[in-house]
Structure formats: structure tokens, C-alpha cells
Chains A and B, each alone.
Chain A
């Protein structure tokens, strides 16, 4: 590498890191508890737990479930009904003042076997809700998401330039060598390089899938306007349904259409995931991979008959498959702990990078070097060459 290209890569590494580090530190710190959000919810007592019953215990109908939810919030209307992928004993009913309400949403958890209300998960407050809001959008809505996506792109630039710089820094060292007998600075430089290079691939994957997730709302909106609109073409111009028919009947039709799949969530007529005339029943597969994907079955809200069902386009599948790769929620508890450790190692890479920059700045000021070369490139020459 010529001194000139070395300086260029050093410049890129320094500035892409410096601009994004504060935000990446926030993402790593808030991401850590989010890895364990289920366990933390159980510990805080906010996680809904259904009583143990026989696996084949009979189920109440979804119309009964909705009646229980309406009893609790008589002035609100149903928006969504959902189940966790790994627990079919609880229905979560989300309600609002209108099908398109964005605030004032309430949720009621109903036992799928007994029809008993199990709790009311808070959608708008609580520690984990705040941490999640910071992590996803810095309390700044879609603009916050896109901004964090931009910081993610800078992180990828910092990673790539860091890999390029790894070579000149490590030429005289064995893999994993940490020079503890030299200065603190040299020790942290070696640790920065070591931890950076071993966490490299994980950081790229989590960073890139995080960036993809910042586009989630835009992708879903595009899908709705494009493919979903085509599926509903024959209903265009009809007056909206004000009194939808039986939810149980609609879901039974969807189940009959896709007998091998299970219910992911159901959207009421008039919400963002249905039409003015349909229940949107979103089905999931049952295998590890297909459980992550959804297939919408649109059911006429009056007749309860299936209107259309079509697998989503590739970009929706890609979005849904990128999510577990960001969350680390697909390999049991050991995977969660590995995710947490890799998160902490990334924090150390970020922190040590910042420390090395601050340290270099102060030594540069003291020695008042006149050379115009970047400090990172200089430190590479100074510390690597004998």
C-alpha cells in the first residue's frame, strides 16, 4: 500500500467512525437489553403468561375473544389480533379509536382456551418501550429511523476501511498478539484490531440487517400499494364495510385455504394491513425458516369467503428474513448470550477506537508535528515499523 492510499483509508476510517460512534454506542447499549426483552418482561412481570393446560384443550372462538376485549374497552374498535410464533394459547387483541388510529392504542391478552383476560400489555409506556423507541428511531419517527440507517452505512464504511488498515498494522504481529509490555495505547491498539477483526462478520451482518430494518415501513407501504392493491381491484369503489361479519368464520376460511400454516396476525377491515372490505389474515409457516415469512389471505368481511391469497414479493421475504439476523432471536438462549457478548465486544471496539483517537490527538498537539499526513496513517508507520 502506498503512503497515499494508506492516508486515504485512514481518513475514511477516522471520519466514518467519528461521525457514527456516539450513535453506535447508543445502539449497542440499548440493543443489549432488547436481546433479552422476553426474559426482562417476565422478570418485570409485564410478560403475559397463560396457565398450563393440556395441549389439545378446546379453544374458544375468536368472536368470543373479541367480545371479551370489547367488554374491557367498549368505546374502541378491533384493529389487530395476533399470536406469538411460539405460543398459540394467547390471543393479543389491539384496539383503537378507529381502525387507523396511531395513538391511544390498547391491548388485551385473552386466553385462547378459556376466554379469560390475561392482562393488558402497555404499548406506549414502560422501560422496554422507551429503550426500543431509542434504539429504533431516537424518538424521531421515520426521520430518526433513516438517520440511524445512515449511521449504519457509516459503520459499514468504518468496518471496511478498518479491515484494509488491519493489514499494515498487523504485518509484524502474530494473529491475536496483544503487546501488553508496551504502552497502554499500544495494548488498546492491539485489542482494537483483535476484537475488530474477529467480530467483523457479525458486525457487518447485524449492521446491514439493521439498515434494512430502517426501511421496513417503506417496504411494507410499497407492498400494500402495489400487490395488495391488485388483489383487491374488484372491490374498488364499493362502500366501506361498517359492520364486519364473524371473525371466527373468516379465520376458518383462511385456515382452510392454507391448512399447513398457522395464524400470525389478523388485521380488521380498514386497517393498514387489510382493505375497507376485508379481514387480512396473515399466515406463517411452521418450519424454522418459513415461520419467519407471512402469506396474506384476504377474506371478505361480509361473506367470510376468501377473496385472494398470494405469497408476498421477494423484497418482503428479504425484509422478514433479515429481522432474525438483526435480533438474534432464532437460536434459543445460547444464541441470545452470544449476541450479548458480541454486542459487548463491539462496544469495546467502539470505545477503544475513541480512546485511540483522543490519545493520538493529545500527543499530536504536544509534539506539534507539521506533517500533513493523517494521524492514523502516521501511527501505523510509527508503531509498526521498527
Chain B
């Protein structure tokens, strides 16, 4: 019987992809949640917008200015 594709080898193939795209995907999702969230309501919803857009902005400043 042929051995099923193991989880370890599946993850092994996925790992380089995740290393490359995990953080960009996180910032993309945060931006969308922030942009749409703040549009839906005020107060608490605005906070969602500030956090959602604050994440990519903060990452840009942190990595862009680090080690200068």
C-alpha cells in the first residue's frame, strides 16, 4: 500500500511559501478589516480601523527605521 502524503512533508513544501507570504498576508487582512470596520460604525468600529491600519504602518516604521 502506498504511504499517504505525511503532514510533515506537506508542511515542508508549504514552509517556504509561508516564510515569504505569512506576514504580507497578515498585513493585507489587517488593512481590509480596518478599512471596512471603520466604515461600518463609529466608536468601537473606529478603533478597529486604527488598529487595522496601524499594523502595516507600524511595521513599515519599525522595519524601515530599525538599525539605522
Contacts and interface: CB of A to CB of B under 8 A. Distances in A.
- Same complex for A and B? Answer yes
B42 A288 contact: yes
B20 A170 contact: yes
Contact of B64 (A191, A289, A339): A191
Contact of A288 (B16, B45, B54): B45
B30 to A, nearest CB: 8
A356 B50 CA distance: 32
Interface residues of B, number: 33
Nearest to A324: B39
Given A178-B66, A321-B39, A330-B38, A201 B56 contact: yes
A85 interface: no
A202 B57 CA distance: 10
Contacts of B67: 178, 180
A289 B40 contact: yes
Contacts of A201: 27-28, 31-32, 35, 56
A194 interface: yes
A380 to B, nearest CB: 14
Contacts of B12: none
Interface string A199-232: 1111001000000000000000000000000000
B39 A289 contact: yes
A200 B60 contact: no
Given A167-B20, A330-B38, A335-B38, A198 B50 contact: no
Contacts of B19: 174-175
Contacts of A345: 57, 60
A130 interface: no
A143 interface: no
A287 interface: yes
B53 A335 contact: yes
B20 A199 contact: no
A133 to B, nearest CB: 27
Interface in B8-34: 16, 19-20, 22-24, 27-28, 31-32
Given A176-B63, A199-B60, A330 B39 contact: yes
A167 B63 CA distance: 18
Contacts of B22: 175
Nearest to A349: B60
Interface of B: 16, 19-20, 22-24, 27-28, 31-32, 35, 38-42, 45-46, 49-50, 53-54, 56-57, 59-64, 66-68
